[in-house]
Structure 1
Amino acid sequence: MMRPTARAALLFGAGVPMSLAAGLAAEPLWPFGLVYLGIALLLTGLDAILIPARRRLRVDAKIPDILYVGDRDALALTLAFDDARSAASLDLACDTGPLLEPPPRQTIRLSAGRIAELTIPLVPRRRGTAAIERLWLRWRGPLGLMAQQRIDPLDAGVPVVPNVRAVRSAAARLNTRDAPFGSKVQKQQGDGSEFDALRDYVPGLDRRSIDWKHSARHRSLLCKEFRTERNHQIVLAIDTGHLMSEPLAGVPKLDHAINAGLMLTYMSLRAGDRVGLFGFDSAVRHASAPVGGLHNFWRLQQASAGLDYRADETNFTLCLADLLGRLNRRSLVVLLTDFVDTTTAELMVENLQRLSRKHLVLFVALRDGDLHATVEATPESFGDVARAVIADDFLRERAVVLERLHRLGIHSIEAPSGRISMELVNRYLLIKRQDLI
């Protein structure tokens, strides 16, 4: 569709006062308006002739097959004019569904006879099927008086799933023996109480690990190496209630919890443990028996992707009692949830205490950076002071609940969304090294 631009409207609009002024100044200048209008029409027509036609623009769009929540991807575009003499500056916009952040409008210069490449960022807000609806393209003629507009329907639905890509890349770093200090959190040897191998003693090793019986037999000092035990049972209990649907750093808390749970699942299966999934809110939404082997990771991934966002309030009494009845051996129960204050957390704490009598419980909550920023910010008005006081009250009540869990012997983690996966894996490995399960 071709249409005049704002510059063309300004060109024609400016002729009216100029013609009136010329006619009032001198009677022979009355034809000036007609001459001006003719020149404006001539320039507009010339621009309409020179503007590249819509059919000459070739657009190839490469849509990603899958998107990962909490990660960025891109819609790759290749643009070119079929006519080697055509050139223009293109304005682009992409219509997407509510599951994606609205992509920004972009402008690119498309030179004559050249191919241009452009990427439109795709940032998922939550899991589901993201709609990429249409592409809007607009370019002007050489004089900027006429503009062409084209709409290319894409009509694509892209699944948005938990961020398995980040899980695998992070897990690869964690399991690399020569990983940098601070990133490598797993030691395959030297931890735990399960015998692994004998090795020659060298200065610096713990003398208590010397095996004197085998040393006497081989007439050289030999040390025992140990490794962490395998075949532990781990259950990921993920809260899908309304508090977990709140966004944190642009992503719902539930998706942060699922990503952290998948990281722990991958590491646990790789270490030889068995992992099960338990999703709940007002009722039990999913319960799968613990399975072992890295080949079962995709099953747990698909099951976690099916945990939907719910508006229900979480019933800890009903659901944790159901979980307790399902467990037939001592397990590590990792509860990923959230709470607001001590009142709403009362039933949660009582049921976790009952669960911790037979099982090892690890409580995991996300640290709200906005609350801490509100407390630490310098107030500039009475409203800022009021918000800081309320935020500080929330933080104090959270600290009270976490301290109470600690006194009950329940392990707890509260970390920012960007660190929650690493903190969870670190705590899991520490628990295994201490033989707490």
Structure 2
Amino acid sequence: MRLYPTRAAIVLVAAGAPIALAVAVASPGLWVAAAAWVLMSAGLIVADALLAAPPSRLDLKLVTPKVMGVARPEPVRVEAAFQGRRPRAIELALGVNARLSAEPARQTLRLSGGRGEAAFGLTPLRRGEGRLEGVWARWRGPLGLVWLQRQAAGAEPIAVTPDIQGVKEQALRLFTRDAPFGMKAQLEVGEGSDFHALKEFTTGMDLRAIDWKQSARHGKLVGREYRTERNHHVILAIDSGRLMCAPAAGAPRIDLAINAALLLAFVSLKLGDRVGLFAFDSRPRVVSGVASGANVFPLIQKLASTIDYSTEETNFTLGLTTLAARLDRRAMVVVFTDFADPTSAELMLENVARLMRTHLVLFVVFRDEELESLLAGEPQDADDVSRAVIAANLMKQREVVVGRLRRMGAQIVDAPAGELGMSLVQTYLDAKRRELV
């Protein structure tokens, strides 16, 4: 419980000062009037506190989710109930730790019959353990001279995980029957070289698909139907170093990479490939073997949740060399990383080149929308011109690195943050259709 005066009480007490000064100047013998004013104000404040609803009569309850996906807002409900005397309205505030953000910071709740319910928008900012430190409620006395406050303990910690719900929504859009043209990942037939079935020849089929022996046996033209190859190894290599913790489109790059990697893992497992996860910064952090089947996805999701934010520089030599040593057959290696200077980019290119001698590499580039906005914006002063020049140099260095990767044979995924997952899946499907693995 906490009790303190309102702004109205402070104004009431302060208003007596000029009156007391005027009385003292006019008649020094009536200085007692100043003390009387103070006593009267104090009496009104005490009376207001006694007439107000006591904090012990308020029951506060928090209703929160147990698991939340990073950057995916969800409501948190605060239920308030008074017994006996009750105010007409109370103010509520929610305390959270650094991994969460609550909106609005404070709100007024109108009570009906002494009860009410308020909703706060809770947004996870970073993966880990989100904590609600507590909920604060305060209300005025009937005279409006005193605030009474009650604090309730927070709820159980909230597990902030990668945005699995967003991954599921994207996956459903990919596998639904009415998916946009060119994004139907379920259409495996005719996209590869593995024999699938025989079917009656129809107009529009490739003449080279006709099976003449089977046609002679059945007395009609029969064609071969193929499907995409299965059992490819797909390795998701995620750089979790310092640069990947920088924000992009309002979220850390590492979180965007994990979301895109989980979407690709889901699609790959559905299409019969084998998926493995590898994360590294100054040294390998998460290393898993490859596995297949839809029941493997929860395990990959759990491993991805353990990838922490790091402040260490990425050691591409140690990380990619360790990864290459663990691969015993040709695989599709999807590298999620970022670079800020030519030195780090040169080390990355050197080790990616070694990896590409045996494996197919899909390189995920995070499009820096902030640099693009600085470059495209109209300058207003000299500082804007300087920023634009620096942004242009950084973009040029980035284009040089991406160009070298393309010449080396890497498949590049370059898309805005909101479209990264879908673009990665399309590049993966295209690589399978072209039999690049």
1:256-267 equivalences under 5 Å are 256-267=256-267
Matches of 2:140 and 2:96 in 1, distance apart? 25
Matches of 2:53 and 2:157 in 1, distance apart? 31
Equivalent residues of 1:91, 1:105 under 8 A apart: no
SS of match in other structure, 2:113: coil
1:106-146 CA-to-partner distances (Å, cap 9, x unmatched) read: 22333241532222232222222222212111111233211
Structure 1 unpaired stretches of 5+: none
1:284 corresponds to 2:277: no
Matches of 2:282 and 2:39 in 1, distance apart? 74
Kindly state the Cα deviation for residue 204 of structure 1 after the two structures are TM-superposed. 5.2
Equivalent residues of 1:365, 1:414 under 8 A apart: yes
The aligned counterpart of 2:394 is 394
The aligned counterpart of 1:178 is 178
The aligned counterpart of 2:255 is 255
Kindly state the Cα deviation for residue 283 of structure 1 after the two structures are TM-superposed. 2.0
The aligned counterpart of 2:329 is 329
Kindly state the Cα deviation for residue 80 of structure 1 after the two structures are TM-superposed. 2.2
What amino acid sits opposite 1:153 in the alignment? Answer: A
More divergent stretch after superposition (181-190 vs 89-98): 181-190
Matches of 1:184 and 1:50 in 2, distance apart? 68
Change (3 A) 1:35 1:310: closer
1:428 corresponds to 2:428: yes
Matches of 2:129 and 2:28 in 1, distance apart? 69
Change (3 A) 1:359 1:16: same
The aligned counterpart of 1:315 is 315
What amino acid sits opposite 2:121 in the alignment? Answer: P
1:51-110 CA-to-partner distances (Å, cap 9, x unmatched) read: 222122221112321222232233222122223x62332222222222223554222333
Equivalent residues of 2:194, 2:226 under 8 A apart: yes
More divergent stretch after superposition (215-224 vs 11-20): 215-224
1:244 corresponds to 2:244: yes
Kindly state the Cα deviation for residue 179 of structure 1 after the two structures are TM-superposed. 2.8
SS of match in other structure, 1:289: coil
1:356 corresponds to 2:335: no
More divergent stretch after superposition (314-323 vs 194-203): 194-203
What amino acid sits opposite 1:291 in the alignment? Answer: A
Matches of 1:355 and 1:138 in 2, distance apart? 62
Kindly state the Cα deviation for residue 353 of structure 1 after the two structures are TM-superposed. 1.4
Kindly state the Cα deviation for residue 346 of structure 1 after the two structures are TM-superposed. 0.9
1:132-281 equivalences under 5 Å are 132-154=132-154, 156-181=156-181, 184-201=184-201, 203=203, 209-211=209-211, 213-215=213-215, 217-219=217-219, 222-281=222-281
The aligned counterpart of 2:106 is 106
SS of match in other structure, 1:142: coil
Kindly state the Cα deviation for residue 344 of structure 1 after the two structures are TM-superposed. 2.0
1:29-68 equivalences under 5 Å are 40-41=41-42, 43-68=44-69
What amino acid sits opposite 2:13 in the alignment? Answer: F
Matches of 1:220 and 1:18 in 2, distance apart? 112
Equivalent residues of 1:95, 1:134 under 8 A apart: yes
SS of match in other structure, 2:309: coil
Equivalent residues of 1:81, 1:112 under 8 A apart: no
Kindly state the Cα deviation for residue 314 of structure 1 after the two structures are TM-superposed. 1.8
1:254-275 CA-to-partner distances (Å, cap 9, x unmatched) read: 1211111111111111111001
Matches of 2:128 and 2:306 in 1, distance apart? 9
Equivalent residues of 2:86, 2:114 under 8 A apart: no
Change (3 A) 1:144 1:209: farther
- TM-score (normalizing by structure 2): 0.90
1:33-52 CA-to-partner distances (Å, cap 9, x unmatched) read: 67765764564345324422
SS of match in other structure, 1:52: coil
Matches of 2:201 and 2:37 in 1, distance apart? 99
SS of match in other structure, 1:427: helix
Change (3 A) 1:257 1:181: same
- TM-score (normalizing by structure 1): 0.90
Matches of 1:152 and 1:432 in 2, distance apart? 56
Equivalent residues of 2:87, 2:140 under 8 A apart: no
SS of match in other structure, 1:418: helix
Structure 2 unpaired stretches of 5+: none
Kindly state the Cα deviation for residue 359 of structure 1 after the two structures are TM-superposed. 0.7
More divergent stretch after superposition (298-307 vs 400-409): 298-307
Kindly state the Cα deviation for residue 317 of structure 1 after the two structures are TM-superposed. 2.1
The aligned counterpart of 1:15 is 16
Equivalent residues of 1:133, 1:156 under 8 A apart: no
SS of match in other structure, 2:101: coil
Equivalent residues of 1:240, 1:307 under 8 A apart: yes
Kindly state the Cα deviation for residue 291 of structure 1 after the two structures are TM-superposed. 0.9
Kindly state the Cα deviation for residue 297 of structure 1 after the two structures are TM-superposed. 1.4
The aligned counterpart of 1:296 is 296
1:231-286 CA-to-partner distances (Å, cap 9, x unmatched) read: 11111111122211222233221121111111111111111100111122222223
CA RMSD of superposed structures (Å): 2.7
Matches of 1:67 and 1:294 in 2, distance apart? 22
1:147-202 CA-to-partner distances (Å, cap 9, x unmatched) read: 11111122632222222222222212211112355764552333222233344555
SS of match in other structure, 1:394: helix
Matches of 1:97 and 1:107 in 2, distance apart? 19
SS of match in other structure, 2:279: strand
Matches of 1:190 and 1:18 in 2, distance apart? 94
1:65-84 equivalences under 5 Å are 65-83=66-84
More divergent stretch after superposition (36-45 vs 1-10): 36-45
